[in-house]
């Protein structure tokens, strides 16, 4: 029971990563690997600031801003320098590895032992460790879902969605598609860095290697939610991604308790994602679903 509650609580934090991946992968229709660099960037910036005495809330917000700046650079590489999206992501995650080491003062990891975090602030009020994770996760996901739902209904939000959905149509309607892509990159990577900062606080440390596999986790959560719930409205989509993220966490925690060794976990998560990505194709072959190919 505790394991399930733990998976749910952690899944809420990871949901923010998944929503960030959703921004680029689904809304913009760009497979952005920058996540592998911006997730630890958020963690490194958040943890470093906390260690330097910045209050956890401010450190978390600044971590998100750092992610948005990384997104700005990724957007510049892709739209102005016309570097293909996949290569843009590879350049970003490679470059950010050094940046993250710098942020961590040339160390591979930095501990939050003895420091205040969002979760520990709640624990000081007598709330259990798991409950503090769940509360922080719920508030953060709630805020993100509410703000994004509002945003997608604004003029700019609609222009962003149109750009990802049909560039030619967007341009024919005088939308600045490059600007919209940069904005999407910034929002997506900002959210991914926010997730990094929250998860680092929950774990009690930032590690320069913690980005490996984040894109797989994010994509798996998004696809699980789509296969299970087939969301049509975007607000509902954001909510079910949260559920997808929790389910993914449950699967991972379950296999760990079943005896899969932690060093095999990345292989396992890659296999899980491959299977999940295969699902729409299986359904299509069975003639059950309209073609919604994975790009």
Q: Which of 98, 165, 275, 278 binds another protein (CB under 8 A)?
A: 165
CA quadruple 172, 176, 178, 181: dihedral, nearest 10: -100
Neighbours of 2 (CB within 10 A): 7
- Among 127, 177, 227, 265, indicate the residue that binds another protein (CB under 8 A): 177
Q: Does 173 bind another protein (CB under 8 A)?
A: yes
Helix (H, G, I), strand (E, B) or coil at 33: coil
User: 105 or 173: whose CB is closer to another protein?
Assistant: 173
Q: How far is the CB of 158 from another protein (least distance, A)?
A: 4
Quick note: the x/- pattern for another protein over 137-156, rule CB under 8 A, is --------------x-xxxx
Residue 233: φ, ψ to 5°: -85, 145
Count of residues in contact with another protein, rule CB under 8 A: 23
Site for another protein in 180-239 (CB under 8 A): 232
Decide whether 67 or 157 has the Cβ nearer to another protein: 157
- State the minimum distance, in angstroms, from the CB of residue 76 to another protein: 18
CA distances from 126 to 117, 119, 129, 240 (A): 15, 11, 9, 31
Identified binder of another protein from the candidate list 31, 72, 90, 162, rule CB under 8 A: 162
| Shortest distance (Å) from residue 198 CB to another protein | 26
Tokens at 52, concatenated: 């330097």
Rounded distance between C-alpha atoms, residue 207 and residue 97, angstroms: 11
- Part of the chain binding another protein (CB under 8 A), chosen from 43-51, 140-148, 158-166, 223-231: 158-166
Residues 6+ apart with CB under 8 A from 8: 134, 246, 249, 250
Q: Which of 185, 155, 215 minimizes the C-alpha distance to 71?
A: 185
Site residues (CB under 8 A) for another protein, limited to 228-247: 232
Kindly report the backbone phi and psi dihedral angles of residue 279, in degrees, each rounded to the nearest multiple of 5, phi listed first: -55, -50
- List beta partners, residue 161: none
CB of 170 to another protein, least distance (A): 7
Question: Which residues here bind another protein, judged by CB under 8 A?
Answer: 151, 153-159, 161-162, 165-166, 168-177, 232
């Amino acid at each position: 029971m505790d394991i399930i509650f733990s998976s749910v609580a952690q899944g809420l934090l990871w949901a923010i990563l998944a929503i960030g991946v959703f921004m680029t992968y689904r809304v913009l229709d760009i497979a952005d690997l920058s996540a592998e660099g911006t997730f630890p960037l958020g963690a490194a910036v958040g943890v470093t600031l906390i260690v330097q005495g910045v209050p956890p809330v401010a450190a978390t917000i600044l971590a998100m801003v750092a992610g948005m700046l990384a997104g700005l650079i990724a957007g510049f590489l892709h739209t102005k320098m016309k570097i293909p999206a996949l290569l843009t992501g590879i350049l970003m995650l490679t470059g950010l590895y050094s940046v993250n080491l710098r942020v961590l003062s040339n160390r591979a990891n930095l501990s939050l032992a003895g420091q205040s975090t969002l979760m520990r602030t709640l624990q000081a009020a007598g709330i259990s460790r798991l409950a503090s994770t769940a509360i922080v996760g719920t508030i953060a996901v709630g805020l993100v879902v509410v703000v994004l739902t509002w945003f997608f209904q604004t003029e700019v939000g609609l222009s962003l969605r149109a750009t990802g959905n049909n560039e030619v149509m967007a341009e024919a309607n005088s939308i600045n598609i490059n600007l919209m892509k940069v904005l999407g990159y910034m929002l997506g990577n900002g959210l991914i860095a926010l997730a990094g900062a929250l998860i680092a606080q929950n774990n009690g440390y930032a590690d320069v290697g913690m980005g490996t596999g984040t894109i797989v986790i994010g994509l798996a959560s998004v696809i699980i939610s789509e296969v299970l719930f087939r969301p049509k409205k975007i607000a509902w989509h954001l909510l079910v991604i949260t559920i997808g993220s929790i389910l993914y966490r449950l699967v991972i925690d379950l296999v760990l308790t079943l005896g899969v060794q932690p060093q095999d976990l990345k292989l396992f998560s890659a296999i899980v994602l491959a299977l999940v990505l295969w699902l729409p194709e299986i359904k299509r072959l069975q003639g059950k679903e309209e073609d919604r190919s994975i790009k």
